[in-house]
Amino acid sequence: VLDYVAGNGYDNERVQGFAWGMGIERIAMLVHEVPDLRMLYQNDLRLLEQFGAGP
Amino acid sequence: MRVPVDWLRSYCDPGLPTQGLADALTMAGLKMERIHHTGVGDVSAFLVGRVLESEQHPNADRLTVCRVDVGRGEPQTIVCGAPNVAAGQTVAVALPGAVMPDGATLGEAKLRGVKSSGMILAEDEVGIGEDHQGIMVLAEDLPVGAPLAEHLPIADDVIEIEITPNRPDAMGVYGVARDLHAATAAPLAEDPTAADATPAGSDTAEDHISIDIDPEICLRFTARVFEDVKIGPSPLWLKQRLMAAGQRPIMNVVDITNYVMLTCSQPLHAFDLDRVRGDRIDVRRARDGEMMRSLDAVERTFSSEAALVCDAEGPSGIAGIMGGQISEVSEGTTRVLMEAATWVGPNIMRTSKALGLRSEASARFEKQLHPELAMAGQRLAARLMVELCGARMVPGTVDAYPRPAEPRVAPLRYTRMEKLLGERIETETARGILGRLGFKREGVRPLESGALRSGDPLEDVAEPAQRDEAERWRVPPWRDSDVQREADLIEEVARIHGLDKLPTTLPSRRNAVGRLTRSQRLRRRLEDLLRDRGLNECVSYSFTSPAALERLRLGDVPVLRLDNPLSEDHSVMRPLLLPGLLDAARHNAAHGRPGVRLFESAHAYRPSEPLDAAPTDAPQGRLPALERHHLAVLFTEAAPGGWRSERRTADFFAARALLEAVLAVAGVEWIAEEGGRSFLHPGRAASIVARESERQLGWLGEIHPLVAREWDVPGPVAGFELDVEAVLEVTAGHEEVYRDVTSFPAVLQDIAVVVPESVPAADVEEAVQAGGGELLAGLEVFDLYRGEQAGEGNKSLALRLEFRAADRTLTDEEVAQRRAAIERELDGIGGRLRA
Interchain pair A45, B588: CB under 8 A: yes
What does the pLDDT read at residue B616? Answer: 56
Q: Is the pLDDT of residue A53 over 60?
A: no
Q: Which residues of A touch B596 (CB under 8 A)?
A: 45
Q: Is the pLDDT of residue B12 over 80?
A: yes
Average pLDDT, chain B: 89
Average pLDDT over residues B773-802: 88
- Residue A14: left if φ>0, alpha if ψ -120 to 50, beta else—which one? alpha
Provide residues of A within 8 Å CB-CB of chain B. 8-10, 12-13, 16, 40-46, 48-49, 52-53, 55
What does the pLDDT read at residue B611? Answer: 57
Average pLDDT over residues A36-53: 86
pLDDT digit string (tens) for B453-507? 444 444 444 555 566 678 899 999 999 999 999 999 999 999 999 988 888 887 7
Minimal Cα distance from A55: which residue of B?
B534
Report the residue from B420, B534, B584 with minimal CB separation from A43. B584
Interchain pair A43, B539: CB under 8 A: yes
One DSSP character per residue, B689-732 reads: EETTT--EEEEEEEEPHHHHHHTT--S--EEEEEEHHHHHHHHT
Q: Which residues of B touch A9 (CB under 8 A)?
A: 619-620
HEC states along A18-43? CCCCCCHHHHHHHHHCCCCCCHHHHC
Q: Is the pLDDT of residue B132 over 80?
A: no
Interchain pair A43, B487: CB under 8 A: no
Interchain pair B532, A53: CB under 8 A: yes
Give the model's confidence band at B452: pLDDT under 50 very low, under 70 low, under 90 confident, else very high. very low
- Burial class for B321, CB neighbours closer than 10 Å (0-12, 13-18, 19+): buried
pLDDT digit string (tens) for B166-207? 999 999 999 999 999 999 999 999 999 999 999 999 999 999
Q: pTM value?
A: 0.71
What does the pLDDT read at residue B101? Answer: 86
The number of residues in chain B equals 835
What is the distance between the alpha carbons of residues B701 and B721, in angstroms, rounded to a whole number?
A: 10
Give the model's confidence band at B110: pLDDT under 50 very low, under 70 low, under 90 confident, else very high. confident
Average pLDDT over residues B631-644: 91
Interchain pair B620, A9: CB under 8 A: yes
Give the model's confidence band at B445: pLDDT under 50 very low, under 70 low, under 90 confident, else very high. low
What is the distance between the alpha carbons of residues B15 and B182, in angstroms, rounded to a whole number?
A: 15
Name B162's Cβ contacts closer than 8 Å, sequence gap at least 6: B30, B31, B32, B33
What is the distance between the alpha carbons of residues B438 and B435, in angstroms, rounded to a whole number?
A: 5
Minimal Cα distance from B543: which residue of A?
A41
Name B203's Cβ contacts closer than 8 Å, sequence gap at least 6: B394, B395
The neighbour count for residue B54, using CB atoms within 10 Å, is 18
Q: Which residues of B touch A27 (CB under 8 A)?
A: none
Name B363's Cβ contacts closer than 8 Å, sequence gap at least 6: B171
User: Coil, strand or helix: which one is B495?
Assistant: helix
ipTM: 0.81
Lowest mean pLDDT: which of B618-622, B762-766, B811-815? B618-622
Q: Is the pLDDT of residue B767 over 80?
A: yes
**Distance from B617 to chain A by nearest Cα, in Å?**
12
Average pLDDT over residues B585-611: 90
Q: Which residues of A touch B598 (CB under 8 A)?
A: 43
What does the pLDDT read at residue B222? Answer: 97
What is the distance between the alpha carbons of residues B46 and A5, in angstroms, rounded to a whole number?
A: 63
What does the pLDDT read at residue B459? Answer: 46
CA B651 to chain centre: 43
Greatest mean pLDDT among B50-59, B143-152, B373-382, B619-628 lies in: B373-382
What does the pLDDT read at residue B620? Answer: 53
Q: Is the pLDDT of residue A55 over 50?
A: no
Average pLDDT over residues B796-800: 92
What is the distance between the alpha carbons of residues B592 and B113, in angstroms, rounded to a whole number?
A: 65
Instruction: Fill in the amino acid letter for B764.
Output: V
B584 CB near a chain A CB, below 8 Å?
yes
Report the residue from A44, A52, A55 with minimal CB separation from B591. A44
Preferred mutation among A48, A49, A50, A51 to probe B, highest tally of B CBs within 10 A: A48
B166 CB near a chain A CB, below 8 Å?
no
Q: Is the pLDDT of residue B227 over 90?
A: yes
Give the model's confidence band at B664: pLDDT under 50 very low, under 70 low, under 90 confident, else very high. very high
* CA max distance for chain B: 133
| Measured CA angle at B410 (ends B404, B414), to 5 deg | 165
What does the pLDDT read at residue B453? Answer: 45
Minimal Cα distance from B538: which residue of A?
A43
Residue B708 near residue B715, CB atoms below 8 Å: yes
Q: Is the pLDDT of residue A54 over 50?
A: no
What does the pLDDT read at residue B720? Answer: 97
Interchain pair A48, B538: CB under 8 A: yes
Give the model's confidence band at A1: pLDDT under 50 very low, under 70 low, under 90 confident, else very high. low
Give the model's confidence band at B450: pLDDT under 50 very low, under 70 low, under 90 confident, else very high. very low
What is the distance between the alpha carbons of residues B200 and B339, in angstroms, rounded to a whole number?
A: 19
Q: Is the pLDDT of residue B390 over 90?
A: yes
Name B76's Cβ contacts closer than 8 Å, sequence gap at least 6: B49, B67, B68, B70, B93, B95, B117, B118
What does the pLDDT read at residue B520? Answer: 93
